[in-house]
Copies of this chain bind each other. A is one copy, B any other.
Amino acid sequence: MFSLLNTLVEKNKKYGREGKVASYIPALSEANPDELGIYVVDSRGKEYYSGDYNAKFTIQSISKIVSLILAIRDNGRENVFKKVDVEPTGMGFNSIVNLEASDSGKPYNPMINAGAIVTTSLIDGKDVNEKLEKILEFMRTVTNNDDISVNERVYLSEKETGNRNRALAYFMKSTGVLDGDVEEILDLYFKQCSIEVTARDLARFGAVLANDGVIPWTNEKFIPKDVCRIVKTIMVTCGMYDASGDFAVKVGIPAKSGVGGGILATVPRKFGIGIYGPSLDEKGNSIAGINIITDLANELDLSIF
């Protein structure tokens, strides 16, 4: 496995040159487009890796999985899906049209920004700090990494440039989909997007999901099996922005990407996979990352279909 991963990293590194790192905030634009790392954790907790698996980057949209899981834990599945739908959408991830187009007035799914702002708003806690602590605690457990924390510089930039998300949130506030103080909800949202991780962290989190919520290295039942299934399903239908359908056809593995360059993938009953490659394609997915996971899925016949 190590040699396969090495081969694939060497082969796919070049794609970094065909994409672009995210540029809407300084911290992201400084990423090195040539970096590519991959980390694989199997269902017994055995780990394999290659390349820049230890490079740090912000989790960004991959945090949408976390707020979905915590929202369900705190409110129950039914109450969450009263506020956010689970239908995929071919439209862009931060579209406002989406909100109005939805018959129910609810965001289409928890993997678009509007949907994730809703799930974030549903996390219980007495203030932003307590809620953030819950998110960080969750992340530390599923990554077996006590150092998980927020990148303050990224957080401040996100907050400053987050007017599109503000528009989404105030719109949902006006339609009654969003409860609570908008600026506080957004503050937590920007913070969770700015959590710093490595490909290893993502792989371990993916292994917990693959393992139906049981942590491979402790055998603790940490996330309910049915919640893991919901998350993996939504990852397939909506996880890779509006390239989700194409990714499902070509790769066939539940996965979620972030504009920080990360991909978290999870092969039910088999593997958690973490990838880092900050150069993005037009849809906002790691370009080398998409290529390396496509190769890996083909080599190991990982498609769930």
A109 at the interface (CB under 8 A from B): yes
* Cβ contacts under 8 Å, A238 to chain B: 88, 245
In the bound complex, what is the Cα–Cα distance between A100 and B164 (angstroms)?
12
* Cβ contacts under 8 Å, A95 to chain B: 100
Number of interface residues of A (CB under 8 A): 50
Chain A at the B interface: mostly helix, strand, loop or mixed? helix
- CB pair A248–B242 under 8 Å, yes or no, is no
A54 at the interface (CB under 8 A from B): no
A97 at the interface (CB under 8 A from B): yes
Q: Which of A95, A171, A173, A228 has the most CB of B within 10 A?
A: A171
Smallest CB separation, A259 vs chain B (Å): 16
A29 at the interface (CB under 8 A from B): no
Smallest CB separation, A167 vs chain B (Å): 4
Contact status of A252 and B237, CB under 8 A, knowing A173-B163, A246-B87 = no
A244 at the interface (CB under 8 A from B): yes
- CB pair A233–B254 under 8 Å, yes or no, is no
Number of copies: 4
A20 at the interface (CB under 8 A from B): no
* Cβ contacts under 8 Å, A244 to chain B: 87-88, 237
- CB pair A230–B254 under 8 Å, yes or no, is no
Smallest CB separation, A174 vs chain B (Å): 4
28 contacts between A and B (CB under 8 A): A85-B90, A86-B248, A87-B244, A90-B90, A90-B101, A90-B102, A95-B100, A96-B97, A97-B101, A108-B245, A163-B170, A163-B174, A163-B182, A164-B170, A164-B171, A164-B174, A167-B169, A167-B170, A167-B171, A233-B248, A233-B303, A236-B236, A236-B237, A237-B244, A237-B245, A238-B245, A254-B305, A304-B305
Contacts A90-B98, A91-B101 known; list 8 others, CB within 8 Å.
Answer: A85-B245, A86-B248, A109-B245, A163-B174, A163-B182, A166-B173, A233-B248, A237-B245
